[in-house]
Amino acid sequence: MKYRIRICTGVACKNCGSDDLLKEAQRLAIGKQHLNIEGRNCMGCCDDAPNMIVMDEEGMPLSRHTMVLPKDLQKIMENLQP
């Protein structure tokens, strides 16, 4: 299975570290063909920034994660198996 990981890059999420989160996700995904990392404009969940959505390859949401920290990101991505 392939996954699309979208990390919010809206203002509230940027202020809470989403740029670093996006860079870390891209680093963790190196060599993992089943992961596609994308930055995405505001997801509308600003109170819970930074936000991230994991979707299947067709774009159907599988899970939404809020207040994501780099250590959380690593755990989430490790659980996404091809």
Angle between helices 70-78 and 18-28 (to 10 degrees): 30
Sign of the dihedral defined by the CA atoms of residues 5, 12, 44, 66, in that order: positive
Give the model's pLDDT for residue 20: 94
Q: In CATH, what is the architecture of 3-78?
A: 3-Layer(aba) Sandwich (3.40)
Nearest-CA neighbor of 5 among 46, 81, 44, 63? 63
Q: How far is 23 from 8, CA to CA, in rounded Å?
A: 12
pLDDT in tens, the chain (82 residues): 999 999 999 999 999 999 999 999 999 999 999 999 999 999 898 999 999 999 998 999 999 999 999 889 999 999 998 8
Strand, coil or helix: 38: strand
Give the model's pLDDT for residue 18: 95
